[in-house]
Structure 1
C-alpha cells in the first residue's frame, strides 16, 4: 500500500475567502458542515498514517500479513473519533470561509457525534414510592417546546420522554424559573454548567434544553445508561454519587428521581 507523506502546515491555505455570491439555506449549510467535517477526518487519517510510518504501523510489523489493511481501517476509525471529540478546528475554518459564518453549535454536535439513542436501564419507580402525575397545565407548557426537545433528543441520543420528564420535574415547563440555588430555566442549569455546555442565554428555551440534554447525555454515558444514577448526579452532583457509591441518601434526590420516573411512566402510557 502506497504511503502518504503529510507535511504539517498552518491555515494559510484557508485565509483567502471564497467569493460568496449567494446565501445558503439551512440544508445547504448542513451539507457544507458535513463535508467540512469529512475533510477534517480524512486529513486527520493522513496525519496518523504519516506518524505511523515512524513506528512501522499500529501493529508494529510492516510485513505482517494484512497489517497494512488493518492499519488503514484503524487509522480511519481513530481519525473519525478524533474529529468527533477533539476537533482540529479545520472543519470550522472551512465552513466559515465558505459561508462567511461560524458553524452553529447544533451542527457541531449533530455532525460530530452522530449519536445513536442511549440505551437506559433502571427506569422503574420503586414499589414503595408514591407515584406522581404531571399537571395538565405543565404538560401544555412543555408542548410549546416540542420541536426543541425533538431536536435535542436526536442530537444527543436522549429519549425525548426523558427530556420532558426532567423539564417537568425541574421547572414544570417554566422557562423563566429560577431556584433558590440559582439554577435557571427549563432544565434548571447552574451558571457553571451552562458555561461548560456552551449555553449563552439560560432563559432561551432552545439553548437551555440543548445544554441540559447535552449534560444529561454525558451523565448517562458516565453511568453506563443507569437512569437513576444519572438523575441522582443531575440533581445532587456526580461527586455525591461517587461519595455514596450510588444514589445519595438525600430525601430531595430520592423524591426527584421518583418524580422523573413517574413522569416517564406517564409518557410511556400516553405515547406523545
Structure 2
C-alpha cells in the first residue's frame, strides 16, 4: 500500500517538475538572448560614435524577466515544501501503520499549532494509539485525549461529541501542549507531565520539592530528536 502511494505521488509530481524545468530553461534562454542583444546594441553604439543607448526597452525587458524568475523561484519553493510534506506523511504513515490522511492531519495540525510534528506523533501514539474514539477512565477523549473542561477553555460551548472529531481534538490538544511549553519555559519534560497529570498537580509537587515524574514524559520522549536533531531522552 505504501509503495503504491509513493508511486502515485511520484507520478503526480512529475508534470509539475517538468513544467518548472522547461519554464526555467525558457527563462534562462530569454535572459541569454537579451544579454546578447544588449551587448550588440552597445557595440553598435560605440562603433558609430553616437550617444550611448539608453535602453528603456531593455530595462522593461529585464524587469519582466526578473519578475518571471521570481515567479518561477516561488513556484519551485512551493513544490519543494509540498514534496517535503508528502515525504514526511508517507514516512509517518509507514512508521505508525496509520492511514495517510490521518498522518497528514496530525502533521498539518502540529505545524499549525507550533508543535514539532515528531513530538505530535509520539504524543498521539502514547495517548490513544491513534484511535479517534479512545476514552480514558478519567474522561479524556479522542486522539490527543483531551478533557472536556480543558477543551471548553479553548472553545467555550464545545460538546463532548464534537471533541471526538479528530481535527478538533488534535487542534485543541496541540494548542494545550504548546501553551504548557510556554508555561514551563520550554521544559518539554514538565510540559508533558502537566499534559498528563494536570498543571495543578505538577506545580504542587514541584513546590514540595518532589519530582512529578510518573513515566509518561519518558514514554513520549524516548529517543526523541526535535526536527531530526537535538538531544532527547535515551
TM-score by length of 1: 0.43
Which protein has the larger Cα radius of gyration, Structure 1 or Structure 2? 2
TM-score by length of 2: 0.50
